[in-house]
Structure 1
Amino acid sequence: MYNFEGKVAVVTGGGSGIGRQVAVDLAKYGAQVAVVSRTEASGVETVQWIQQNGGTALFIQADVRRSEDVQAYVKKTVEAFGRIDLFFNNAGVMTSPAPIVEFSEELFDLTMDTNVKGTFLGLKYVIPEMLNIGGGNIVCTSSVVGLKGNPGVSPYSASKHAIIGLTKSVVGEYAAQGIRANVVCPGCVYTPMMDRYAAEFSPEDPSLTEQMISQMVPMGRYSKPEEVSELVLFLLSDRAPIINGSVYTIDGGQTA
């Protein structure tokens, strides 16, 4: 369905969830993939899975909040594979839910540093490598709560709004130089992050969280990582040559 032969991709947050699925799928269709994760065990696991299935991948441990780490994952990718064509700027965190007046400054800083600064730093240091080869394709991960408010996770919502603003701004600055940058806004997805949120929101029975949220989704269920990956791969591919600066929800109709 896709042909990423000869392409080099960087995937942040590649150790689990959507990031892992996208990394695996890019490799499946021929891309050489740099899997970036803060957690070594999960990142290595993604790379091993890719390699066992005949793909090419490199694990790079990095904290996307740290400029030196981001510059390092860019440098190591170029050293290993020679270029960067595709960038899934995906790493993020969602902390324990709390009303805004009870939300700690520490968790606010963690959310903003990871989701906003991490996205910004990725763009800052990956885009020059893309410009060196005449362009590239970027997808950043926001959320449906980046399109509206969401009680209980206001800093997370704010951070996901910011990602949309950053990505759209890239288009105005670099589209004429061959850069495409789009945003995906998933609803709830079956991922370890969502499992942790459910356990914190309903510690007595995490399944109650899924039941409650699913009732708000017209299609009646969470999305699957492979469904989100399908959209990401399309946007990163040459099949979407004129799509730039767009925001795509993938949420079973939740925001409809």
Structure 2
Amino acid sequence: MAGSIFSLQSKTAVVTGGGSGIGKAVALLFARQGAHVHVLDLNEENANTVVHEIQQAGGQATAHVVNVARQKEVVAVFEKIATPNILVNSAGVSHIGKLENTPEEDFDRIYEVNVKGTYNCLYAAVPLMKKAGGGAILNMASIAAVVGIPDRFAYSMSKGAVYAMTLSLAKDYVKEGIRCNSISPARVHTPFVDGFLAKNYPGKEQEMFEKLSQTQPIGRMAKPEEIAGLILYLCSDEASFITGCDYPIDGGFIKLNN
């Protein structure tokens, strides 16, 4: 049953990248709060698993297999959904490397998913939200959008673009009742992190995990559920006076690393 505060009862929510990591945590939380959650993911098995978990708990969810980098696919899915009240752009990929070891194909891959993918979902959702009289959008930026992070050239580029798109869209559609905000996480313990450590630091996974954890002054990585809690607030009616803002959720990384 949806709680009385931060309730999403009767809301239709779209979560991209909803099959794993932060997106999965958001999808599960939104469903518990009463939303019908549309889980968009490139991985059909992951999307179906999340939807099944939601339905087993008594919630409402629908899976959609879609590549957010392909506009026709995205538009077709949103036309089926018809009346999205909430959009969370969580789909994204990462890349390790400075300028000199970022080949063009890797740069293009980051751009296609993180930048164009966000654009495509906004492009598909905003006209539908306008027809419905408004909506709430949450984009996934990063501390890398505003702070220099070593070996994250392409990733930082993409998240800077997401941050800028957030401000632009919030300004252009505030009169249409569409709110648009972003959040900027630091490191979050997701399956991606475990896979990255296993691939790049075999035998030293725990040592490197601790090292990365300590880059946050709070001394650990975030849990996906902690990120989802902030996203829920910003997409709820309780945040109806908030638009055009970015919220660091970083364990003190931006302000306290000095």
Same fold, TM-score > 0.5, yes or no: yes
Q: CA deviation at 1:100?
A: 1.6
C-alpha distance in 2, partners of 1:85/1:228?
20
Among 4, 10, 28, the alignment partner of 2:8 is 4
Q: Which residue of 1 aligns with 2:152?
A: 153
In structure 1, list runs of 5 or more residues that go unmatched.
none
| Aligned: 1:25 with 2:29 | yes
What is aligned with 2:181?
182
In structure 1, the partner of 2:19 is: 15
2:74 to 70, 75, 97: 70
Shift of 1:203: 3.3
TM-score, scaled relative to structure 2: 0.94
In 2: Cα distance, 1:99 partner to 1:179 partner = 36
Aligned length: 251
Contact 1:12–1:37 (Cα < 8 Å) also in 2: yes
Partner of 2:93: 93
SS at match of 2:68: coil
What TM-score do you get using the length of structure 1 for normalisation? Answer: 0.95
1:200 Cα offset (Å): 3.9
Structure 2 unaligned runs (5+)? Answer: none
SS across alignment from 2:237? coil
Q: 2:49 aligns with which of 45, 49, 57?
A: 45
Q: What residue in structure 1 maps to residue 123 of structure 2?
A: 124
28-37 or 200-209, larger mean C-alpha shift: 200-209
1:254 aligns with 2:253: yes
Equivalences for residues 95-110 of structure 1 within 5 A: 95=95, 97-110=96-109
Aligned to 1:239, the other structure's residue is in SS state helix
**Aligned residue in 2 for 1:115:** 114
Residues 1:236 and 2:235 aligned together: yes
SS for the counterpart of 2:171 is helix
Aligned 1:165-244 pairs, distance under 5 A: 165-244=164-243
Are 2:40 and 1:36 equivalent residues in the alignment?
A: yes
Between stretches 143-152 and 12-21, larger displacement belongs to: 143-152
Shift of 1:201: 4.0
Matching residue's letter, 2:169: V
C-alpha contact 1:12 1:36 (8 A) present in aligned 2: yes
Asked if 2 retains the 8 angstrom alpha-carbon contact of 1:84 and 1:130, the reply is yes
Residue number in structure 2 paired with 1:163: 162
1:65 and 1:127 map into 2 onto residues whose CA distance is 17
Q: How has the CA–CA distance of structure 1 residues 194 and 184 changed in structure 2, closer, same or farther, with 3 Å as cutoff? A: same
